[in-house]
Structure 1
Amino acid sequence: MFVLVFSVVPIKPTANADAAITTLRIGMIEPIDSLNPFIGVNDNAYIFYGLVYDFLMCVDEDLNPAPNLALSWHVVPDELPLGSVWQYNLTQNAYWHDGEPFDADDVVFTFNYQIGLNWTDMWAYQPYTVLVDSVERVDEYTVRVHYKDFQGNPAPASYGASMMLPIVPEHYWSKILPSAAGFSHTNPKPLGTGPFICTDQTYSEFLTGDRLILYRNPDYHGFTDFGWDIKFERLILEFYLEPSALVTDIQRGGIDIAELSPPHYKNLVDWLAANPTSSIGIDNSLKCTQYSKEISICMSDQSGADTNLLRLDPVVRQAMAHATNKTFICDAIFKGYAEEGASIISPISPYWYWEPSPDEEYYFSVEKANELLDSAGYNLWDDDHKYRKSTPGLSFQWQDKTYTFPDSKVLEFEVVVEAELYEDLEVYNYLEEAWAECGIKLTPRVVNSALWGVIVYGGYFDLTITYWSGDPDPNYLVYIQSTYSLNGWSENWYSSPLYDENYTNSLLEQDPVQRQEYIRNCQYWDYIDAAFIVYCYPHGCHAWRNDHYTGWGDWKAHPGRSLANFWSANPLFFDLEPVVGNAPPIALLDNVAGPANQSLTITAYAFDPDEDEMTYRLVFGDGANVSGTVPSDGEISVPHSFVNATTYSMELMVYDENSADAASAPATIIGPGGNAPVSNLRLMPDSFEKLSAGRDIGFTITGKDIEDDTVDVRLDFGDSTASFSDTIWDTEVGFETATDHAFDTDSDYTLVLTASDGHNTTVMTLVLAITEEEGGTPWMLILGIVAVAAVVVVVAVFLIRRKGAGGREEEEIRLP
């Protein structure tokens, strides 16, 4: 019989060095999606990478390239053609966070890791590596990068001064295969040369999803090379599931700076108008990342039988553009904190930005949209006379293909929307109503972010709503609309010879005036073809505490100071000065351990050096929380019962009138049989080519039970058929079993594997996208692991079979 006796004796500290550490707390709505800089895609992940890693160069407060690991760079004058070889002169003062010295070998490795045969697997920074031919180590602190054109000949590179990719340590990443680095490696303790250092707790913090705690790098090379300094010892990224809680914490001083959603920023602005003496500073302005929001229309004709290829008709897309009221979206959904969109490059970069002339503009006009559709043969209606249909035999041409529809077809399109992005949901709701006025029917498909990536990067959709960010140089953003991005970053599968011609010329052009023309031509063709309908450039909406730190600066005048500057060495962090005055409270939270479903006593302690009154919020990590006033003796004691046998991450926030402190601690809950078994579900290697309806797909189930108990496994296939069950004796090396299954129809199936040792249970899920045709379209697989006792931890692994490039030829396609 399992018996656990647990006792806690609270200890009141006379001093707490950790709690007294000067801390910068940053509040964010969206958690980062990966610790791996080759996998993460959301902007908060890139902010994290910019804190931990250094790039060759960074971006100064006015968005100009500035030295970082490379102290200087230049075109090598005796290498022809001029501009085909760039030399980067490196610092001699940088060290990796594990103490190993940084040198040229790390830079050579970082580039070689992502080019040649590895280029497809290492997709994250393809816009920068696309023209890299080879990298040469000149000496210990000098490298030369050789660039080429798409025919493999030496060629000048226009963006050699803006190589915005993190430099990684050879002694760590050389042990990781590129295929794993690009798709599955978790990178549990990121190792960089940047201004902030991860800890041994970083991975568990990431899995919990509440916060990430980083510490000042005392050996940061920027202190020696550039005279920079960081005047706080700890930086915490706090992630909020509830945006209103983020507003509350910036008001009460629980965090120092926050990025807010437009509606919540508007609420804060209104609150500040009623509280003019508040110490909160605010800014809303165009993001330095050229952030844009767009409707993405899939231009692949291999998108699956459930999609509608009428979207490939240029007239249909033009009508969609005319039917979109960008002013309404900016004012109603973004509360006025956005500017109307046109091109994928934002007006934050006026030298590169393009906007259409009055004759070119797809101005808002439902009348014009209806006129276009009438003239193009979409003048039949459904039985309710609400949605348009094509006339039988309708034909149109897109690029070098002619599409013919013998039968009448309704203008109906599915829109894939990310459930986590409320603004996208609001935009969809508007579009459904607005486009119906010109006879276009929209239906939503709301999915989580991971499944969104499977669908969109696989090209299995009609329309989606998305966003883009990029560095101040236009190279990154114009790349993602080129044909070369179809193997990686493309979110609309757009391919245009005219666009590609200008994109290629922009890569090779050394004259900035001529390059500007090519970049603007790219934007022109992207706009005219309307595969992206850029509807707005949202502002970054930020708030900060002037009574906690000074040195925030003027973000409108110097946008590179904003929190969004994620290209390493953000100048903001070197200028912030802690305010001396009110001492923040100190929070301590004790670890707890005990059996499931039994009341445990959670103990904590709070102290305020100024003897201010304090309140607290204790989050148990299982969805429950409690708030109250801190007793006069500072001791907090709260009973709580945890249901599942697992480890929970508890968090205590303590507030005085102007500031706050936080502490975290684990709650280790053990079931009657000890630990739950660890289980894994994998496809058999020969099944990777069988993800189509009607074919047997093989699965292996492996795992380990720490106590070597007998394990019962059950695999539900998600298609209402009988599940697979087995009882396995665990051995020293674990347990293993196998089965196979055929799915009847093409769809997305969620498989659920349950493994139990009779006391505790592990659950994991596998989402399979099954195609209709054998070996037909590319496929993607997302693997979601659910932790012990069904506490969900999502680890996304994308396995992608790419389309071959192939040649273009005139083709006529007749559709049913």
Structure 2
Amino acid sequence: MRPRDASNPRTRWFRTREEEVEGAKMMLRWRPVAMAVTLAMVGGVMLSGSALAQSSGTSSPTANKIVLRVGVPGDMISPNPLLATNGNDYETLFNAYDLLFNFNPDDLSPSPGLATGCDPSADYKTWTCAIRSGVTWSDGQPLTAEDIAFTYKFIETTDENEVFTSYIPYHPTFSAPNATTLIWKSPKPTFAPTIPPWVPILPEHIWKQFEGDGKAARGFANVPAVGSGPFVLTSWNKGQGWTMEANKSYWGGAPAIDEIQYIVYDSQEAMVQALKSGQVDFADNLNPTLFNTLQGQPNIGTVKGTASTFTNLAFNFGGQGPDATNNPVLKDLKIRQAIAMGIDKQSIVDKVWQGDAEVGSVITLPSRPQWFYTPTDVQSQAYDPAAANTLLDQAGYSKKDAGGIRLDKTGQPINLNVITLPEETGSVDTGKLIAAQLQQIGIGVKLQSMSDKQIENNNWYTGDFDAYIWGWGGDPDPNFILSIFITSQCLGWSDGCYSNPTYDKMFEHQSTLLDHAARVAYIQKMQQFIYDQIPEIVLNYPNYLQAYRSDRFTGWKPEPTNGGTYLFGWGNQYQGLTPLAAAEGGSSSGIPAALWIVLGVVAIAVIAFFVLSRRRRAEEEA
């Protein structure tokens, strides 16, 4: 998972109210009452928060319309599949598009999606997939095997940033002899069709115009989006939220929910208050402090999912282009080893995550035990600042400047520009701890805070950073997370353009291993290699914390079943949600709770009007 951007959705509403008051012409005698009304209205707006602003800026639910409102601590980056980066993007894609295969909610193994099954040839070079019949796109056009073949060809010819290419290795060919049959032919044996490939199937009649033109394809807004999933993206108000409406012709059955409103909050505190007051039905990706305050609250349920991501300190090795500013000292493995030993991961878990995380080591997750691996020399990177100082002295970095910062071999102080992201839970606080800890081994850290859009559009593409504190959430199969370290992923999924020919060969080899046990063993070798080479430091595996209104909807289910989350998981978790009877007058229809707050403060203002009027009349009579 990548971080989420946040902006202030309240600014526009507050400014509008001020402009209306400032533009009004009032008689002098009514100014005290006007001021009371104005203060009451402004207070009501401040209480209502960003959810009211969102209600004003998006489609208003009509009577009997069932609306689920989901609070998120950041915006999408893009609903265009070729630009999708963070968890919000992928949640939207999960709802809007189908995959070849879905994920079994019990263990995240492949389960039927658009394909009901795929059979390999004896040599595993040709796969024949049976495709569902009767599926339609949200605009009514039929979806056939030709759309699937087109999508994979489109990725081959148009996905210049290699967002999805690791899912279709060896440059296979695709054909559709009829509407319900897909033929996948690979020059080498492959199991790629059953990983399964996390590639949203796109409508050929919409995307054909961009085939072979990556720039034009990435420039396509894709709002509203034509898809085949259970919901349709209908609008996106950048910085405030986006709306998805139910696809009533969805092949898996029409959702009970008519509309999902994702509401962006500029602070988690505001999102939690909105949940308590009933302005939203669900709050995603909470920090531990706020999550703990919701325990035992009336009509509030909490969900503590096992780690589906890891937090990392990723290094920049350069190679993005002429404007890259990476500190060359980071190419020295001894420096990276010392940094690893200089970071107290347990203190980060205790102080930043309040114990709601595990200390990190490798790039797979403890929640996926079949792939998780414990390094053979895990103590080699254990917190030991004394050993880190000794290592740096022996490696030729014993000289320091007047401030105690070590000098590199050209005589320059070793100061690292480390980016933190406020939208990524824990990133900023983790950065502060790491900066203080590395000071103890003579490495300076300059922290720079920026939004995910800033880093995506500027620093990451140009290589203008030394490291950043971000996070990853791979697929159930480790193929994707392993792929981010190959050379070809520079300016693709790679954090900092790490390149190692030995690892590149290892990645290619693992994709040829058809025996599961042999592949598991080899991937353990790959994890050990990454652990030893330290292109990044896996800091921790944080629990995924969510909360919801227990009096609004029923049918919440975790995915995966054991330790999963209620939303932002691995499947269509909205499909089974139905409103409780008590919800019909709250979140799902009628007047929003936020508006009741405003009506209440207006009533107070009216009372103030009569009190002031009577006082004035009494003074005049006296």
Q: Which TM class, normalised by the smaller chain length? A: 0.7 to 0.9
2:331 is matched with which residue? Answer: 312
SS of the residue corresponding to residue 256 of structure 2 reads: coil
In the alignment, does 2:253 pair up with 1:235? no
- Counterpart residue type for residue 453 of structure 2: A
- Counterpart residue type for residue 362 of structure 1: Q
- Counterpart residue type for residue 303 of structure 2: D
What displacement does 1:459 show? 3.0
Does the 8 A contact of 2:326 with 2:463 survive in 1? no
Alpha-carbon distance in 2 for matches of 1:607, 1:160: 47
* Mapping for residues 786-801 of structure 1, pairs under 5 Å: none
Does the 8 A contact of 2:279 with 2:587 survive in 1? no
Alpha-carbon distance in 1 for matches of 2:88, 2:380: 33
From 115, 118, 126, give the equivalent of 2:158: 118
What displacement does 1:363 show? 0.5
Alpha-carbon distance in 1 for matches of 2:267, 2:341: 35
1:270 is matched with which residue? Answer: 293
What displacement does 1:19 show? 3.3
Alpha-carbon distance in 2 for matches of 1:441, 1:19: 59
What displacement does 1:559 show? 4.5
2:576 is matched with which residue? Answer: 575
Q: Structure 1's 304 and 169: CA in aligned 2 closer, same or farther, altered over 3 A?
A: closer
Unmatched segments (≥5 aa) in structure 2: 1-59, 605-622
TM-score (norm: length of structure 1): 0.63
2:356 is matched with which residue? Answer: 337
What displacement does 1:100 show? 0.3
What displacement does 1:364 show? 0.8
2:229 is matched with which residue? Answer: 194
Alpha-carbon distance in 1 for matches of 2:164, 2:499: 20
* Mapping for residues 408-807 of structure 1, pairs under 5 Å: 408-421=411-424, 423-453=426-456, 454-553=458-557, 557-559=561-563, 562-566=566-570, 569-570=571-572, 572-581=573-582, 583-585=584-586, 616=595, 628-629=600-601
Does the 8 A contact of 2:325 with 2:466 survive in 1? no
What displacement does 1:161 show? 3.8
1:744 is matched with which residue? Answer: none
Does the 8 A contact of 2:67 with 2:587 survive in 1? no
What displacement does 1:55 show? 0.8
2:20 is matched with which residue? Answer: none
Does the 8 A contact of 1:104 with 1:142 survive in 2? yes
Alpha-carbon distance in 1 for matches of 2:78, 2:326: 31
Q: Structure 1's 474 and 627: CA in aligned 2 closer, same or farther, altered over 3 A?
A: farther
TM-score (norm: length of structure 2): 0.81
- Counterpart residue type for residue 442 of structure 2: G
SS of the residue corresponding to residue 516 of structure 1 reads: helix
Q: Structure 1's 313 and 617: CA in aligned 2 closer, same or farther, altered over 3 A?
A: farther
What displacement does 1:162 show? 0.7
What displacement does 1:335 show? 2.3
Aligned length: 543
Q: Structure 1's 450 and 214: CA in aligned 2 closer, same or farther, altered over 3 A?
A: closer
SS of the residue corresponding to residue 362 of structure 2 reads: coil
From 81, 87, 90, give the equivalent of 1:43: 87
- Counterpart residue type for residue 218 of structure 1: K
SS of the residue corresponding to residue 515 of structure 1 reads: helix
Name the % identity. Answer: 25
SS of the residue corresponding to residue 26 of structure 1 reads: strand
From 105, 129, 151, give the equivalent of 1:88: 129
Q: Structure 1's 419 and 272: CA in aligned 2 closer, same or farther, altered over 3 A?
A: closer
- Counterpart residue type for residue 131 of structure 1: Y
In the alignment, does 2:315 pair up with 1:297? yes
Alpha-carbon distance in 1 for matches of 2:433, 2:127: 49
Does the 8 A contact of 1:20 with 1:586 survive in 2? no
Question: Following superposition, which runs of at least 4 residues in structure 1 exceed 6 angstroms of deviation?
Answer: none
SS of the residue corresponding to residue 198 of structure 1 reads: strand
SS of the residue corresponding to residue 438 of structure 1 reads: coil
Q: Structure 1's 144 and 345: CA in aligned 2 closer, same or farther, altered over 3 A?
A: same
In the alignment, does 2:284 pair up with 1:259? yes
In the alignment, does 2:69 pair up with 1:25? yes
Does the 8 A contact of 1:158 with 1:508 survive in 2? no
Q: Which has the higher strand share?
A: 1
SS of the residue corresponding to residue 184 of structure 2 reads: strand
Higher mean displacement: 432-441 or 454-463: 454-463
From 139, 159, 162, give the equivalent of 2:196: 162
What displacement does 1:93 show? 2.1
- Counterpart residue type for residue 61 of structure 1: P
SS of the residue corresponding to residue 575 of structure 1 reads: coil
- Counterpart residue type for residue 531 of structure 1: P
Unmatched segments (≥5 aa) in structure 1: 1-15, 149-153, 224-228, 391-404, 589-605, 609-613, 619-625, 633-816
2:25 is matched with which residue? Answer: none
What displacement does 1:526 show? 0.8
From 97, 101, 114, give the equivalent of 2:142: 101
Alpha-carbon distance in 2 for matches of 1:559, 1:190: 32
In the alignment, does 2:200 pair up with 1:146? no
Q: Structure 1's 298 and 88: CA in aligned 2 closer, same or farther, altered over 3 A?
A: same
Does the 8 A contact of 1:615 with 1:629 survive in 2? no
1:530-572 Cα offsets, whole Å, 9 max, x none, are 1110101122111112221222235674355631225xx42x2
Does the 8 A contact of 1:132 with 1:145 survive in 2? no
Q: Structure 1's 305 and 585: CA in aligned 2 closer, same or farther, altered over 3 A?
A: closer
Alpha-carbon distance in 1 for matches of 2:537, 2:255: 42
Query: 1 or 2 for the larger relative contact order (CA 8 Å, sep ≥6)?
Result: 2
Q: Structure 1's 560 and 173: CA in aligned 2 closer, same or farther, altered over 3 A?
A: farther
- Counterpart residue type for residue 443 of structure 1: K
Alpha-carbon distance in 2 for matches of 1:586, 1:381: 61
Alpha-carbon distance in 2 for matches of 1:415, 1:429: 10
Does the 8 A contact of 1:24 with 1:234 survive in 2? yes
1:436-490 Cα offsets, whole Å, 9 max, x none, are 0000011123333233123223333321222112210111110011123125111
Alpha-carbon distance in 1 for matches of 2:599, 2:419: 39
What displacement does 1:279 show? 2.3
From 402, 406, 415, give the equivalent of 1:388: 406
SS of the residue corresponding to residue 428 of structure 2 reads: helix
What displacement does 1:95 show? 0.5
What displacement does 1:309 show? 0.9
Alpha-carbon distance in 2 for matches of 1:557, 1:586: 27
SS of the residue corresponding to residue 445 of structure 1 reads: strand
What displacement does 1:194 show? 0.4
1:185 is matched with which residue? Answer: 220
2:272 is matched with which residue? Answer: 247
1:145-184 Cα offsets, whole Å, 9 max, x none, are 1224xxxxx3323563411110000001012253235532
Alpha-carbon distance in 2 for matches of 1:44, 1:522: 30
Alpha-carbon distance in 2 for matches of 1:68, 1:452: 35
Does the 8 A contact of 1:285 with 1:556 survive in 2? no
Does the 8 A contact of 1:262 with 1:335 survive in 2? no
